[in-house]
């Protein structure tokens, strides 16, 4: 899941379900729409760069400043040109690491690929400061000076898109522009000037996970991170990337413990743990007799497994990998 917020301002802020782009107001409507269409098509960073360089007649000096953050293959790919700034927080070796990227003092643009992004901000103010963009947007074009996307859940588990929707395959962008002078170049040439930023991963992506739990109270939750279910669930001493989703369920008889059942995604497996509860949890699996979950121990669950946590509340596992 991704949440995008922005600070109103004078630039064009484009937000689609695959990424965001910040462009100066000097763009004509046609130019803006060309970029927007490409962004909506999900053509990746190359597509956007192509649209931008095409819209400005392939003359490098005429290409405006920009900041782009877009999911491309498995990575969040970022490109920034001119005096525009990008703040990135990513998970590296078990740490949240912040960095800043800008296109200042670079002839073309600066690129970076981020494998495990936590958040990305694009802004025109040189000072990052503790300002926080406040207005929400899910998709569209706004006038903005600052946009922030925050990513929730396990993005490095095959999620390759803002919202895990099907992406169209990236089209080829082989342009054949022959009649240009030495000062201009094709988008492909421009890209070739950039140092490679990451290995290209051409192998097929795993399909976006649709694994979820259905709780008997009627709610469903995607399994994109840890979940704790209980009467009054809490999380104790967790790392930043392990902050669980807390799901409270009614238990008029106080049969269910405050924090009762923990659900974790471990690679391709989904694992549950009864959190040392007073009344325990029961696993119902087709073809097997119901069994009490070992208190405090981890158990792998499969699709269609049901766990009964008491007071008539059960959790059904759906579409597990």
Partner 1 sequence: MASALHQTAPIEVRWGAATDTGRTRAINEDAFLADAPVFVVADGMGGHEAGEVASAIAVSWFEAFVGLRSVDPAQVRVALAEAQREISQLVATTERSAGTTLTGVMVTEIESRGYWLVVNVGDSRTYRLAHGALTQISVDHSVIQELLEAGELDARLASQHPQRNVITRALGAGDPADPDFWLLPAELGDRILVCSDGLTNELGDDRIRSILTDEPDPNAAAVRLLRESLLHGGRDNLTVLVIDAVSVSGDDSDFARGFDTVPVTFARMDADDTIPRTPRSRTEQEH
Say how far apart CA 180 and CA 260 lie, in whole Å.
68
Say how far apart CA 184 and CA 251 lie, in whole Å.
69
Does residue 257 interact with partner 1 by CB under 8 A?
Answer: yes
Using CB atoms within 10 Å of the CB of residue 25, give its burial: 0 to 12 exposed, 13 to 18 middle, 19+ buried: exposed
Does residue 76 interact with partner 1 by CB under 8 A?
Answer: no
Say how far apart CA 278 and CA 261 lie, in whole Å.
12
Does residue 221 interact with partner 1 by CB under 8 A?
Answer: no
Say how far apart CA 32 and CA 51 lie, in whole Å.
10
**Residue among 19 and 244 whose Cβ is closer to partner 1:** 244
DSSP class of residue 61 equals G
DSSP class of residue 170 equals P
Does residue 94 interact with partner 1 by CB under 8 A?
Answer: yes
DSSP class of residue 52 equals H
Site string for partner 1, 13-52 (x = CB under 8 A): ----------------------------------------
Closest CA to 40 of 18, 7, 11: 18
CB of 76: closest distance to partner 1 in angstroms?
15
Say how far apart CA 209 and CA 213 lie, in whole Å.
12
Both structure tokens of 36: 């927007």
Among 234, 295, 303, 304, binds partner 1 (CB under 8 A): 234
Say how far apart CA 265 and CA 268 lie, in whole Å.
7
Site for partner 1 in 266-305 (CB under 8 A): 277-280, 282, 289-292
Cβ atoms of 35 and 43 closer than 8 Å: no
Considering only the stretches 17-25, 33-41, 137-145, 235-243, report the one whose residues sit in contact with partner 1 under the rule CB under 8 A.
235-243
Query: Site for partner 1 (CB under 8 A): how many residues?
Result: 50
Does residue 306 interact with partner 1 by CB under 8 A?
Answer: no
Considering only the stretches 17-25, 92-100, 139-147, 198-206, report the one whose residues sit in contact with partner 1 under the rule CB under 8 A.
92-100
List Cβ neighbours of 211 (8 Å cut-off, separation of 6 or more): 222, 223, 265, 270, 317, 318, 319, 320, 321
CB of 297: closest distance to partner 1 in angstroms?
16
Considering only the stretches 61-69, 130-138, 160-168, 210-218, report the one whose residues sit in contact with partner 1 under the rule CB under 8 A.
130-138
List Cβ neighbours of 182 (8 Å cut-off, separation of 6 or more): none
**Residue among 60 and 215 whose Cβ is closer to partner 1:** 215
Does residue 9 interact with partner 1 by CB under 8 A?
Answer: no
Among 32, 33, 131, 306, binds partner 1 (CB under 8 A): 131
Summarize as ranges the residues that interact with partner 1 (CB under 8 A).
Answer: 3, 87, 89, 94-100, 118-119, 128, 130-132, 150, 152, 231-240, 243-244, 246-248, 253-258, 277-280, 282, 289-292, 308, 310
């Amino acid at each position: 899941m991704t949440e995008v917020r922005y600070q109103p301002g004078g630039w064009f802020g484009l937000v689609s379900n695959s990424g965001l782009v910040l462009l100066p107001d000097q763009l004509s409507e046609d130019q803006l729409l060309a970029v927007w269409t490409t962004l909506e098509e999900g053509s990746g960073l190359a597509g956007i760069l192509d649209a931008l360089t095409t819209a400005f007649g392939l003359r490098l000096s005429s290409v405006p400043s920009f900041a782009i953050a877009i999911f491309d293959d498995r990575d969040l790919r970022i490109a920034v040109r001119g005096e525009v700034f990008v703040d990135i927080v990513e998970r590296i070796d078990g740490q949240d690491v912040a960095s800043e990227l800008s296109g200042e003092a670079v002839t073309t643009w600066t690129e970076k690929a981020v494998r495990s992004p936590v958040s990305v901000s694009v802004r025109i103010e040189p000072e990052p400061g503790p300002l926080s963009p406040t207005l929400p947007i899910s998709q569209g074009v706004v006038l903005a000076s600052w946009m922030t996307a925050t990513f929730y859940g396990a993005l490095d588990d095959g999620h390759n898109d803002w919202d895990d929707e099907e992406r169209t395959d990236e089209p080829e962008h082989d342009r054949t522009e022959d009649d240009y002078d030495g000062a201009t170049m094709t988008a492909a040439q421009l890209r070739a000037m950039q140092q490679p930023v990451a290995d290209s991963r051409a192998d097929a992506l795993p399909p976006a996970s649709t694994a979820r739990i259905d709780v008997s109270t009627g709610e469903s939750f995607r399994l994109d991170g840890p979940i704790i279910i209980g009467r009054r669930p809490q999380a104790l001493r967790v790392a930043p990337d392990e902050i669980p989703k807390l799901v409270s369920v009614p238990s008029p008889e106080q049969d269910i413990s405050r924090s009762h059942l923990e659900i974790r995604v471990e690679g391709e497996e989904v694992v549950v743990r009864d959190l040392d509860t007073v009344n325990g949890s029961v696993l119902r699996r087709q073809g097997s007799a119901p069994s009490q979950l070992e208190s405090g121990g981890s158990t792998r669950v499969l699709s269609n497994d049901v766990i009964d946590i008491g007071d008539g509340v059960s959790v059904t596992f759906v579409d597990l990998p």
